[in-house]
Structure 1
Amino acid sequence: MSRTPVPQPGVDRMTPFAEHPVVVGVVPGQHDLVALTAMAWARAARAPIVYFAFADTSRYVVEEHADGYVLHAPIDPDVTDDAWNDVERGLRDQMAGVLGASPVPWEVRYLAGRPDRALTHLARAVDAAVIVVGTRASGSISRVRELVEGSVAMHLAHHQHRPVLTVPLAVVDWKEIRAPWEQ
């Protein structure tokens, strides 16, 4: 069985930065810096809209639409199906509180499944110029999880052709880092 080659990044696949949407991966309670950085990028690039997207890993995609919307359902059939509405409403309120009267229109998209795949689908559907994500929260559990699963930013950078802007949310002091053999 012959496999079709995966399209690779290249000049012919580049989406111009100016006047193209921005897709932003968000999570409830995320630091405001991610949304504000994405909005600053959008203003500078004259983006027509910013899509703040949350990918719920407890749900799966039933149907993908050409405009980036997805019909989704819970993985666990015993879960109340409307609980996701509260999360979406919370994200919308969170973004409204952070952005205030933004000069760039924005909307929240509720996605399902793996965050990297969901963000890639949305970016492709809306022809986004860039995908913006924040780094993981600090803490040993986050580090272990990222070691096992990998980061969303890394998966995006390796599995789709759009640039990924990663917003640092915690800075490590290089003077404090020691190699294992120096401890």
Structure 2
Amino acid sequence: MPQQVPQPHTDRMTRFGGGAVVAGVRPGTDPLVALTAADLARATRGRLYVAYVDEQRLVEQEFPDGSVRHGEVNPDSDNEGWRRTEARLLSELGALLNPGHGWEFRYLAGRPDRALTHLARAVDAAVIGVGNRAPEHNAKVREFLDGTLALKLARHQHRPVLAVPLSVVDWKAPMPWA
């Protein structure tokens, strides 16, 4: 008999008031996701956790605080490249986010939907925020067929997902796939 997946329910809800906010970000991208999540965390008096998920690294161990120990997918690759990415993100976030409001950064690995879900569970987040772009002509086929990160998160865990628009399509413009 297949294992029952816990479904969304009022008993499993994390209240927004004081609940943590998790934001998934990427280096060098639009600051709207981090700023929107920080504003929500400030408004709800919750702690902000900003995370980057490196899909080129493998999770070796998950920890109760939502952090992970990770390793290279390719043993011949630059093992210190992730440290440069982490330093870049910390610099970008440090310039963007108010140091007076508590926030923490997590460098995660593996599939973004799974990694962000693990972090959200670990910190008992009330919401997960990610960026959402309008479809483009050169959109990845996988994303077109499989769905966006926001959609994957909404399908595979019980917390609300805040999809922050990073680009929009004019209602009157033809869709890229048309």
Return the offset for 1:177. 2.9
Return the offset for 1:164. 0.3
Structure 2: 5+ residue stretches without partners: none
What TM-score do you get using the length of structure 1 for normalisation? 0.91
Distance in 2 between residues matched to 1:129 and 1:138, nearest whole Å: 28
1:90 aligns with: 88
Return the offset for 1:176. 1.5
Q: Give matches, 1:57-136, under 5 Å.
A: 57-99=55-97, 101-136=98-133
Distance in 1 between residues matched to 2:28 and 2:139, nearest whole Å: 15
Query: Which range moved further: 146-155 or 120-129?
Result: 146-155
Structure 1: 5+ residue stretches without partners: none
Return the offset for 1:139. 3.5
Query: Which range moved further: 26-35 or 171-180?
Result: 171-180
One-letter amino acid of the structure 2 residue matched with residue 154 of structure 1: L
Query: Which range moved further: 18-27 or 128-137?
Result: 128-137
SS in structure 2 at match of 1:142? coil
Measured at CA, do residues 28 and 9 of structure 1 come closer, stay the same or move farther in structure 2, by a change above 3 Å?
same
Distance in 2 between residues matched to 1:28 and 1:178, nearest whole Å: 28
Identity of aligned residues (%): 52
Matched pairs, number: 178
Equivalent pair of 2:17/2:45 in contact (CA under 8 Å): yes
Return the offset for 1:141. 2.2
1:11 aligns with: 10
* CA RMSD of superposed structures (Å): 1.8
Q: Choose which of 166, 170, 178 in structure 2 pairs with 1:169.
A: 166
1:40 aligns with: 39
Query: Which range moved further: 142-151 or 75-84?
Result: 142-151
1:62-119 CA-partner distances (Å, limit 9, x unpaired): 00011111000011010122210010110111111122x3442112110000000000
Distance in 1 between residues matched to 2:175 and 2:109, nearest whole Å: 39
2:156 aligns with: 159
Return the offset for 1:126. 0.6
